[in-house]
Amino acid sequence: MKVDLLTIFPEFFSGPLDSSILKRAIQSEKVRINLVNIRDFARDKHKTTDDVPFGGGGGMVMMIEPLYHALESVVEKKQEKIIMTSAWGRRFSQDMAKELSTLKHLVLICGHYKGVDQRIKELFPMEEVSIGDYVLSGGEFASLVMLDAVVRLIPGVLGNFESAVTDSFYEGILGYPQYTRPAEFMGLKVPEVLLSGDHQKVRLWRKKQALKMTFITRPDLLEQKELSEEDRKLLKEI
Ligand code: 6GU
């Protein structure tokens, strides 16, 4: 996948893109990230990318011109998926991450200030996406969150041991509690069943714990999920 990442703070990404899964995905060429500095497309000598809003009111608005030229430099066929971060956008989700992970080319714009000149959306059809109901100072944080969620779903990015199949949310519920060595620490023991070697028992225990945690902290997820006979039985026990 190729990702064109349009931002006024390209330096923001150097740490995150050089760590962990994103770093590995880039090194293995499963993802190519092209950082585009929107400021480079500003035409005045001060490299201005924001201005006061027409009609007054506080804050600054991202100007259309530099952003237009930045987009023009990366969009070839006008068929590319363009996403712009915005606190007012559609809520990002695991389903959206799955969809995006199948794309060959994604253009991600980090929105800024009080918003972006509305007219850009008429020249380049795009989707505005938010990562949650809170206000961030810039779209860079949101872009990184989305990028990480998407990239780890690209086949071959994660090894078998980290497989996305067992992720929380993968089946619409939260993950089960995990334990590793030592089997006892300060008197705290790992649940017996995990040491039993009985795979069927372990599977059922994990599913029950996952359902229980979901029931307690995110009951809304259970309402959306299609429950199997087994799920229903375990939930009744809870
Ligand atoms: Cl995508 N941008 C900003 N500025 N704030 C946000 C957001 C995005 N998602 C949640 N809050």
Structural domain spans, the chain: 2-151, 169-237
pLDDT value of residue 170: 66
What is the CATH superfamily name and number for domain 2-151?
SPOUT methyltransferase, trefoil knot domain (3.40.1280.10)
pLDDT value of residue 141: 97
Q: Ligand 1 centre from 114 Cα, in Å?
A: 11
| Joined tokens for residue 39 | 């400021």
Give the predicted TM-score (pTM) of the model: 0.92
| Continuous segment of H or E residues that includes residue 115 | none
Query: What contacts 142, CB < 8 A, 6 or more positions away?
Result: 85, 92, 110, 129, 130, 131, 136
Among the atoms of ligand 1, which is closest to the Cα of residue 89? 1
What distance in Å separates the CA atoms of residue 211 and residue 108, rounded to the nearest whole number?
35
In which residue ranges of the chain is pLDDT below 70? Answer: 161-162, 166, 170
Among the atoms of ligand 1, which is closest to the Cα of residue 139? 2
| Domain 169-237 in CATH 1.10.1270.20 | yes
pLDDT value of residue 172: 84
The CB-side HSE value for 6 (13 A sphere, CA atoms) comes to 26
Residues with CB under 6 Å of ligand 1 are: 85-87, 111, 130-132, 134-136, 139, 142
Q: Ligand 1 centre from 132 Cα, in Å?
A: 7
pLDDT value of residue 7: 98
Mutate to test the pocket of ligand 1, among 141, 143, 144 (most ligand atoms within 8 A of CB): 141
Nearest to 107 by CA among 41, 38, 23: 38
pLDDT value of residue 169: 74
Among the atoms of ligand 1, which is closest to the Cα of residue 136? 5
